[in-house]
């Protein structure tokens, strides 16, 4: 079928036609979104916590904050706490709520794309959209299309920024600070989106992280790499014997934002000794995201009363994003250090603050946000280079054109603009000249960002019609 001249890209329809790709229509600059924890600064978080304190003191006193505003809950995955706390928050602010909690009864089953759903709902039905989606990068795609604020309520195993703000707010309430705290992250660290967002935020505040993973479910390499590259976090082996039963079957890792020279006197081969910790953050096995992997829940990490007797946990609060299965014994519920039900309750005031901020109802200038709006450059040629099968650019391949975001030019590094997964490549093509080069070639520096094509191999490059660069002096 034909496309209008305003549509920049098309993606092939399996039937042979072209359909519009997701490339047009930047969100208005004035619209703020909460897609990632990166969209709020540390000062923004502190301001949100102060407002949450006010809302928590008397949640019924703020019904005049957002009168007439409507929030739409678009949940493509099950949720109890996140959805209900957002809806409670909007109602307490004096607004209304539209709920699509079971998207199988929506037009999604007829093949409607996420982008179209967002444009319809944001085009007149609601003033803010709360989105949960199984595909990583879905919230960034939605924000690209939405004329109203989009809040990421979880996208695959990628991020869950409002849960992170809730978790940080609980540390703020219980400990009075976040800077310098020692926090244990335990359980399924590979697929837990709450853990990924939480780790980034803790690093930004200068907290130390002790990873106690379920064996085989360690923190993903791309998360560890980002913690090192962006926050100066140095991973090292941890001696977690003082954690007792909690870490008895886990290879613990210590992640600290301290500078290497501050650790230069550390020589113990057993690893950095974990002494006292301020919080233990347990996570359930994210079995819905385990691809072709079986995990025996009987062998999963479990926090029991005897584990809480460890001297290093004497003053540690116990947190959990919920729902839980068996990873925290019910007998721990009565322990005054267990705050996971308080943690869930505090989701309402912090989400009241988030909604009021995004709807422009908090004092101007107190909270700025840092969302930049764009989602990178369209990949100008070749197959989708994103290696993540759960990325929105793969799960909605008919509607979503792959996009690239360059994070470095020397050395050249690019990530998927939706899910932030690093793109592997061995040669670099130029879509303008049709020539491919070795990554270290000086010619690569001359290619404009929008013409760069990261290609798996020279063979793939030639199959796509690229020609090898002529090397001077070669015969």
Q: State the pLDDT at residue 10.
A: 41
Q: Which residues 6+ apart lie within 8 Å of 30 measured at CB?
A: none
Q: Is residue 334 part of a domain?
A: no
Q: Based on the domain organization, do 455 and 352 belong to the same domain?
A: no
| Half-sphere exposure in the Cβ direction for 324 (13 Å, CA) | 23
Q: Based on the domain organization, do 62 and 135 belong to the same domain?
A: yes
Q: pLDDT digits over 338-393, tens only? A: 999 999 999 999 999 999 999 999 875 667 666 655 677 888 877 899 999 999 99
Q: Based on the domain organization, do 439 and 352 belong to the same domain?
A: no
Instruction: Indicate the residue among 328, 358, 388 that finishes a domain.
Output: 358
Q: pLDDT digits over 305-323, tens only? A: 888 888 888 888 999 988 8
Q: Which residue has the tokens 């829940």?
A: 297
Residues of the chain with pLDDT under 50: 1-29, 260-267
How far is Cα of residue 130 from the mean position of the Cα atoms in its chain?
15
What CA–CA distances, in Å, run from 460 to 163, 315, 403, 468, 470? 41, 57, 18, 12, 18
Question: How many whole angstroms separate alpha carbon 42 and alpha carbon 131?
Answer: 24
Q: Is residue 207 part of a domain?
A: no
Among 60, 110, 445, 475, the one annotated catalytic:
110
Q: Is residue 306 part of a domain?
A: no
Among 46, 54, 81, 290, the one annotated catalytic:
81
Catalytic, 190? Answer no
Q: Based on the domain organization, do 451 and 352 belong to the same domain?
A: no
Q: Based on the domain organization, do 112 and 71 belong to the same domain?
A: yes
Q: Based on the domain organization, do 111 and 151 belong to the same domain?
A: yes
Among 160, 196, 284, 302, the one annotated catalytic:
160
Among 32, 33, 65, 82, the one annotated catalytic:
82
Among 32, 33, 132, 421, the one annotated catalytic:
132
- Domain CATH for 381: 2.30.30.20
Q: Based on the domain organization, do 445 and 412 belong to the same domain?
A: yes
Catalytic, 33? Answer no
Nearest CA to 208 among 243, 241, 232, 172?
232
- 234 and 260 Cβ atoms separated by less than 8 Å: yes
Nearest CA to 246 among 319, 201, 197, 300?
300
Q: What's the number of domains the chain is made of?
A: 2
Question: How many whole angstroms separate alpha carbon 388 and alpha carbon 394?
Answer: 8
Q: Which residues 6+ apart lie within 8 Å of 98 measured at CB?
A: 70, 71, 72, 73, 121, 125, 126
Q: Is residue 417 part of a domain?
A: yes
Q: pLDDT digits over 192-205, tens only? A: 878 888 998 999 99
**Is the N-terminal amide bond of 377 cis, ω within 30° of 0?**
no
Q: How many CB atoms lie within 10 A of CB 443?
A: 14
Catalytic, 82? Answer yes
Q: Based on the domain organization, do 353 and 387 belong to the same domain?
A: no
Question: How many whole angstroms separate alpha carbon 136 and alpha carbon 125?
Answer: 25
Q: Based on the domain organization, do 14 and 75 belong to the same domain?
A: yes
- 146 and 118 Cβ atoms separated by less than 8 Å: yes
- Domain CATH for 47: 3.40.50.1370
Q: Is residue 427 part of a domain?
A: yes
Q: Which domain holds residue 67?
A: 10-160+348-358
């Amino acid at each position: 079928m034909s496309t209008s001249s305003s549509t920049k890209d098309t993606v092939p329809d399996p039937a042979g036609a072209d359909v519009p790709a997701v490339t047009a229509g930047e969100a208005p600059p004035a619209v703020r979104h909460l897609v990632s924890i990166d969209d709020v600064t540390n000062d923004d978080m502190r301001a949100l916590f102060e407002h949450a304190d006010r809302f928590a003191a008397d949640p019924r006193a703020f019904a005049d904050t957002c009168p007439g505003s409507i929030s739409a809950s678009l949940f493509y995955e099950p949720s109890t706490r996140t959805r209900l706390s957002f809806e409670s928050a909007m109602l307490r602010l004096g607004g209304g709520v539209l709920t699509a909690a079971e998207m199988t009864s929506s037009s999604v089953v007829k093949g409607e794309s996420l982008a179209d759903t967002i444009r319809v709902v944001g085009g007149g039905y609601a003033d803010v959209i709360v989105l949960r989606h199984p595909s990583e990068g879905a919230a960034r795609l939605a924000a690209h299309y939405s004329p109203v604020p989009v809040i990421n309520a979880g996208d695959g195993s990628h991020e869950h920024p409002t849960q992170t703000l809730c978790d940080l707010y609980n540390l703020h309430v219980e400990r009075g600070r976040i800077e310098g705290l020692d926090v244990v992250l335990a359980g399924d660290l590979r697929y837990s989106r709450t853990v990924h967002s939480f780790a980034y935020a803790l690093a930004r505040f200068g907290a130390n992280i002790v990873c106690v993973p379920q064996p085989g479910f360690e923190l993903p390499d791309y998360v560890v790499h980002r913690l090192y590259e962006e926050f100066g976090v140095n991973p090292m082996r941890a001696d977690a014997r003082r954690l007792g039963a909690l870490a008895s079957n886990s290879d613990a890792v210590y992640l600290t934002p301290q500078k290497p020279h501050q650790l230069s006197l550390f020589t113990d081969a057993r690893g950095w000794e974990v002494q006292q910790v301020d919080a233990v953050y347990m996570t359930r096995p994210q079995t819905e995201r385990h691809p072709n992997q079986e995990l025996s829940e009987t062998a999963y990490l479990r926090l029991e009363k005897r584990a809480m007797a460890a001297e290093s946990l004497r003053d540690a609060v116990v947190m959990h994003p919920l729902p839980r299965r068996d990873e925290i014994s019910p007998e721990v519920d009565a322990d005054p250090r267990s705050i996971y039900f308080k943690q869930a309750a505090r989701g309402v005031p912090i989400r009241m603050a988030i909604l009021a901020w995004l709807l422009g109802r908090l004092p101007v200038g107190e909270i700025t946000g840092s969302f930049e709006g764009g989602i990178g450059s369209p990949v100008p040629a070749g197959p989708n280079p994103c290696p993540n099968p759960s990325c929105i650019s793969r799960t909605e391949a008919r509607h979503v054109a792959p996009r690239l975001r360059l994070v470095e030019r020397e050395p050249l590094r690019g990530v998927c603009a939706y899910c932030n997964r690093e793109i592997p490549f061995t040669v670099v093509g130029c879509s303008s000249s049709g020539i491919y080069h070795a990554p270290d070639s000086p010619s690569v520096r001359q290619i404009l960002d929008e013409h760069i094509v990261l290609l798996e191999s020279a063979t793939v490059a030639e199959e796509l019609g690229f020609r090898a660069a002529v090397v001077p002096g070669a015969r």
